[in-house]
C-alpha cells in the first residue's frame, strides 16, 4: 500500500510529456463575432499585422521575458505553470482614430477576454509618433462593447 502511494506521488511529480504539454497549452481560440466600429476602422488578426511601434509597446508593457502569444499560438489558460508559456494570447486588434484596441485572453485564476488600448502620442521633433498604453482601458467581458466604450472615452477605475 505505501509503495503504491509513493509510486503514485512520484508519477504525479514527473514532468508532463510534450504531447500533454502541447494540448494543455494550446487551447482552441475563442469564436469572436465581428465588431462593427463604423467606417475607417481597421482590424488585425495577428500581432504580425500590427505596426512595429504598437508591437514594441505591447512587449514593453506586458513583459518581454514571456511575450504575448500570437493568435492560435501556445497559451497557458490555466493557473498551473508548466513552463515558459505565455499567459496572454492575442485575439484581435482594431485601429480607430488615435487608438489601437488590443483584444487578448488572460490565463490563470482570473482568466478571460480583455482589452487594452494604445493611443498615438503626438509626433516628436523628428516627425515620428509613438504609441503608449492609454490608462483606464483595461476591460473584461464583451470585447466589442468594451472597445466601443474606450473609443467613446469611457475609462475603467484601474488598468
Q: What is the pLDDT along the chain (159 residues), one digit of tens a residue?
A: 555 544 444 444 444 455 555 555 667 788 889 999 988 899 999 999 999 999 999 988 887 677 899 998 888 887 776 677 888 999 999 999 999 999 999 988 888 999 999 998 876 666 556 899 999 999 999 999 999 999 999 999 864
pLDDT at residue number 13: 44
Q: Residue 135: give the domain boundaries.
A: 2-151
Q: C-alpha grid cell for residue 106? A: 488572460
91 in a structural domain = yes
19 in a structural domain = yes
pLDDT at residue number 76: 83
pLDDT at residue number 102: 98
Which residues 6+ apart lie within 8 Å of 51 measured at CB? 100, 131
Domain count, the chain: 1
Distances (CA, A) of 128 to 1, 124, 133: 70, 6, 17
157 in a structural domain = no
156 in a structural domain = no
159 in a structural domain = no
142 in a structural domain = yes
71 in a structural domain = yes
Cell 474606450, located at residue: 150
158 in a structural domain = no
| Contact predicate 35/94, CB 8 Å | yes
Amino acid at each position: 500500500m505505501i509503495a503504491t502511494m509513493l509510486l503514485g506521488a512520484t508519477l504525479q511529480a514527473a514532468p508532463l510529456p510534450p504531447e500533454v504539454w502541447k494540448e494543455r497549452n494550446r487551447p482552441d481560440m475563442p469564436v469572436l463575432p465581428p465588431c462593427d466600429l463604423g467606417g475607417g476602422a481597421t482590424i488585425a488578426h495577428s500581432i504580425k499585422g500590427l505596426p512595429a511601434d504598437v508591437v514594441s509597446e505591447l512587449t514593453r508593457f506586458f513583459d518581454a521575458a514571456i511575450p504575448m502569444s500570437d493568435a492560435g499560438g501556445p497559451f497557458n489558460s490555466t493557473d498551473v505553470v508548466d513552463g515558459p508559456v505565455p499567459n496572454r494570447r492575442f485575439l484581435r486588434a482594431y485601429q480607430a482614430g488615435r487608438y489601437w484596441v488590443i483584444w487578448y485572453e488572460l490565463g490563470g485564476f482570473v482568466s478571460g477576454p480583455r482589452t487594452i488600448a494604445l493611443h498615438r502620442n503626438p509626433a516628436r521633433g523628428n516627425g515620428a509618433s509613438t504609441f503608449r498604453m492609454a490608462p483606464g482601458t483595461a476591460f473584461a467581458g464583451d470585447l466589442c462593447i468594451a472597445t466601443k466604450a474606450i473609443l467613446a472615452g469611457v475609462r475603467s477605475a484601474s488598468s
